Amino acid sequence: MLRTSFSRWLGWTALAFLGLIAWDLSGLDLPVARLFGTPEGFALRDNWVFVKVLHEGAKSLTWVLVALLCATIAWPVGFLRQLTRAERVQLAVGVIASVLVVQFIKHGSRTSCPWDLQAFGGVASHVSHWSWGRGDGGPGGCFPAGHASAAFAFLSGYFVLARRVPTAARWWLAAAVAGGLLLGIAQQVRGAHYMSHTLWTGWFCWVTGLAIDTACQWWRSRAAHAALAGAPSRTSS
């Protein structure tokens, strides 16, 4: 069962990777950005809804949810009661780790945001985020989309829930994907990111969750075998 699930998840990961490569090769990032930006900039960059609600508000909500997940390690509620304590720890750690992974990649990125481009009133030129080490004349630090990770980070919870509460896992997955796309598109409308930045963020968060789940399953399997090997054998009377 576990091997079947892992093979299926690995297949989805590979298909998503190929889809992302196809998007990058299509060169659609700039045409899509031009739907919202002009040489004068992005009209909705400082829009109250996009800034206060979908950016600052969503970020605050994410950390409230993370705090609640940490609290449920000791005091589980709802379907989280069906998880073991170790699984609830994995759930919280996976979300935090996903955010940190995205931030780590962003820290080393030399790709600038759309609103920094000359085409939209800035100073940078458009350089692919795959051109590692090559500056574009702007501030950089824009790839992948950190804000979208506020929702995509919860993808890691799907792997934990899928084995215990599959129905809740599917809803959890749908909510994380929908939330990530919503936050990513909101930032794209403002000129803060390209579509590829959002899509890659989702993939990085998914891979982080899968890697953590694989490591946890391996550790639990070893612990179970060790416990079995150390148990006293029974002798018949």
| Domain-embedded: residue 232 | no
User: DSSP string of 115-163?
Assistant: GGBGGGTSSBPP--TTSTT---SS-----S-TTTHHHHGGGHHHHHHHH
C-beta of residue 90 within 8 angstroms of C-beta of residue 68? no
| Eight-state DSSP code of residue 200 | H
E strands, the chain, in order: 37-38, 41-42
Total Cβ atoms within 10 A of residue 174: 11
Q: In one letter, which amino acid is 132?
A: W
| Domain-embedded: residue 130 | yes
| Total of domains in the chain | 1
Residue 134's pLDDT is 87
Residue 131's pLDDT is 85
pLDDT average, residue stretch 13-37: 97
| Eight-state DSSP code of residue 114 | G
- What's the mean pLDDT when you consider all of the chain? 93
| Eight-state DSSP code of residue 202 | H
Report pLDDT digits (tens) over 31-89. 999 999 999 999 999 999 999 999 999 999 999 999 999 999 999 999 999 999 999 99
| Domain-embedded: residue 234 | no
| Domain-embedded: residue 33 | yes
Is the pLDDT score of 231 beyond 80? no
- Identify which of 213, 222, 6 has the alpha carbon closest to the alpha carbon of residue 91: 213
| Domain-embedded: residue 230 | no
Q: Prior bond to 144 cis, omega within 30?
A: yes
Q: In one letter, which amino acid is 175?
A: A
Q: In one letter, which amino acid is 115?
A: W
Exposed / middle / buried, residue 175 (Cβ in 10 Å: 0-12, 13-18, 19+): middle
Model-wide pTM > 0.85: yes
| Domain-embedded: residue 231 | no
| Domain-embedded: residue 233 | no
| Eight-state DSSP code of residue 83 | S
The whole-angstrom separation of Cα 35 and Cα 236 is 78
Domain residue limits at 100: 2-222
